[in-house]
């Protein structure tokens, strides 16, 4: 009895396979043909694994040609860009302490630009974080690779939008409170790094009261620090 049941089960499995085999084989052939078609499409486009790296290098060259030497050095060394808002006379009142400061004019607010992250607005006098502005500039010109712009192109697009038409960019951006996408502690660390960087580049007075000529910036082709 057991032998007969086993034989019947084997025959049933074989019959089911014979019935299903055409459908299974057709599905496998379809998947294989689709894979080959994708591979031919990639090869016909001349896909190069180093394409995105070279695109970033070209984007850095374009960014350097558009911004000032100070801004380029900031992005090269720190991986961020700052855009200042309107100047606020600091000689009259210190916004942090409510007392005369006697300092030089400073912006009432400023922006930090990160690659592929929201623009962060803050108060330079106090370090208070104000707002995150989410904007995106997708790369719609390429049929391959990442849909995002290279990092330096994204930074340049935000810089041009802020310096060219700040009101329009802020009006069209998605506005959020600080910390929605960018860690506030990271921003504070970056502001501290930026302050140290600016102090290190500030010209020092010579013994005779004259300022030495500013040092030439070194050319660095590596990617900016994270």
Q: Judge if 33 and 61 occupy the same domain.
A: no
Q: For residue 214, tell me if it sits in a domain.
A: no
- Alpha-carbon distance of 223 to 226, in angstroms, equals 9
Q: For residue 59, tell me if it sits in a domain.
A: yes
pLDDT tens-place string over residues 90-143: 444 444 434 444 456 778 999 999 999 999 999 999 999 999 999 887 666 555
Range of the domain at 90: 51-201
pLDDT tens-place string over residues 2-48: 667 677 777 776 777 677 777 767 777 777 777 777 666 655 555 56
Cα distances (Å, whole numbers) of residue 154 to 111, 165, 188: 15, 16, 22
Q: For residue 218, tell me if it sits in a domain.
A: no
Contacts of 143 by beta carbon, 8 Å cutoff, 6+ apart: 45
- Alpha-carbon distance of 179 to 187, in angstroms, equals 9
Pick from 47, 219, 49, 52: which is nearest to 152 by CA? Answer: 52
Q: Judge if 59 and 3 occupy the same domain.
A: no
> Structural domain tally of the chain?
2
Q: For residue 154, tell me if it sits in a domain.
A: yes
Pick from 181, 56, 200, 60: which is nearest to 112 by CA? Answer: 181
- Alpha-carbon distance of 150 to 5, in angstroms, equals 66
pLDDT tens-place string over residues 55-77: 889 999 999 999 999 999 999 99
Q: Judge if 123 and 74 occupy the same domain.
A: yes
Q: For residue 127, tell me if it sits in a domain.
A: yes
Q: Judge if 87 and 169 occupy the same domain.
A: yes
- Alpha-carbon distance of 120 to 179, in angstroms, equals 10
Q: Is the pTM of this model over 0.85?
A: no
Q: Judge if 121 and 179 occupy the same domain.
A: yes
Q: Judge if 140 and 86 occupy the same domain.
A: yes
């Amino acid at each position: 009895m057991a032998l007969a049941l086993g034989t019947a089960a084997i025959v049933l499995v074989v019959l089911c396979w014979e019935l299903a085999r055409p459908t299974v084989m057709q599905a496998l052939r379809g998947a294989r043909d689709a894979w080959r078609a994708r591979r031919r499409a990639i090869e016909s486009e001349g896909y190069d694994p180093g394409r995105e790296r070279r695109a970033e290098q070209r984007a850095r060259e374009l960014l350097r040609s558009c911004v000032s030497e100070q801004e380029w050095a900031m992005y090269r060394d720190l991986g961020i860009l700052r855009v200042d808002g309107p100047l606020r006379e600091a000689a009259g009142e210190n916004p942090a302490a409510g007392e005369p400061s006697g300092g030089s004019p400073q912006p009432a607010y400023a922006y930090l630009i990160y690659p592929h992250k929201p623009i962060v607005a803050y108060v330079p006098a106090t370090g208070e974080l104000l707002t995150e502005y989410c904007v995106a500039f997708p790369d719609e010109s390429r049929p391959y690779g990442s849909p995002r712009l290279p990092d330096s192109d994204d930074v340049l697009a935000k810089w041009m939008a802020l310096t060219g038409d700040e009101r329009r960019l802020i009006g069209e951006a998605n506005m959020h409170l600080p910390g929605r996408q960018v860690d506030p502690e990271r921003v504070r660390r970056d502001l501290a790094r930026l302050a140290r960087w600016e102090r290190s580049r500030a010209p020092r007075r010579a013994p005779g009261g004259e300022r030495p000529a500013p040092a030439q910036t070194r050319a660095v082709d590596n990617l900016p620090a994270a």
